Amino acid sequence: MPLRLGDEAPNFTADTTEGKINFHEWLGNGWGILFSHPKDFTPVCTTELGYMAKIANEFKKRNVKILAVSVDPLDAHKGWINDINETQNCTVNYPLIADPDKKVATLYDMIHPNALDNMTVRSVFVIGPDKKIKLTLTYPASCGRNFDELLRVIDSLQLTANYKVATPVNWREGQDCIITPAVNDEEAKQLFPKGFKTIKPYLRYTPQPNK
C-alpha cells in the first residue's frame, strides 16, 4: 500500500553519513524532508545534492530538517560527497542514509520496478511536526527536481497549517491567499481583519494573514 497524505511517516533506524539515527527521534518536534536518489555517483543526483546543500539554510529557517537516502553503502556515500562538494562547489551539510539493503527505500515505496530496476525513483516526502506526511512527490530518474518549489510548498504547508486559508496557483510567500470554503463571510471578517475581496462566493482573496 503506498504512503498517502495524512498517513504517519513510518519510523526507522538507519546509518547515515552523520551517524545512526532513529527517524522520529531525529525529526523531534519540527518538520522534515526525506528525499531519495537513485544511485551514488550519478550525474543528476550529484547536481541535486549539491543544490540542496546550497539552499539548506532556507530549510533551516523554516525549521525543516533535510535527510537524503540512496541505496548505496556508507563508504560509497562518503566518496560521492567529496565529488559533490568538489564539482558543485558546496559542502553537503545534511545526512545521507546508507540503504544498501533497501530497508528505507522499501518502507517508503521508493522503488518502482516498472520504471527503474533496483534503484529508487526520485521521491520526496515532507513530514509535519505531527509525523504525518504532508506532501509526496515522485519524479523519474531522468529529471532533476526543482528544490525551490519544495520551499514554496513548505511555505504554503506551514501557513495553511495555522490559518484557514489555501494558496492559489503559483503562490509565493507574501502574496494574497484564498479563504477556505468552510469559512463563511461572517467568520472571515473576524479571522481576516485586513479584509477580503470576493470574486465569487467561493473565491475570496485575503492578504497573507501572518505578514
The residues binding ligand BEZ (CB under 6 A) are: 38-39, 42-45, 119, 141-142
Which residue lies nearer to ligand BEZ by CB, 45 or 177?
45
* Lookup: cell for 106: 522499501
Please, what is the minimum distance in Å from the beta carbon of residue 37 to ligand BEZ? 7
Best CA proximity match to 41, nearest among 67, 18, 70: 70
Which residue lies nearer to ligand BEZ by CB, 47 or 160?
47
Q: Which of 45, 90, 143, 177 is catalytic?
A: 45
Q: What's CA 67's distance to the chain center, in Å? A: 9
User: Is 45 part of the annotated catalytic residue set?
Assistant: yes
Please, what is the minimum distance in Å from the beta carbon of residue 23 to ligand BEZ? 24
Which residue lies nearer to ligand BEZ by CB, 137 or 191?
137
Please, what is the minimum distance in Å from the beta carbon of residue 116 to ligand BEZ? 7
CB neighbour list of residue 13: distance below 8 Å, 6 or more residues apart: 20, 21, 22, 23
* Lookup: cell for 193: 481583519
- Active site amino acids: 45
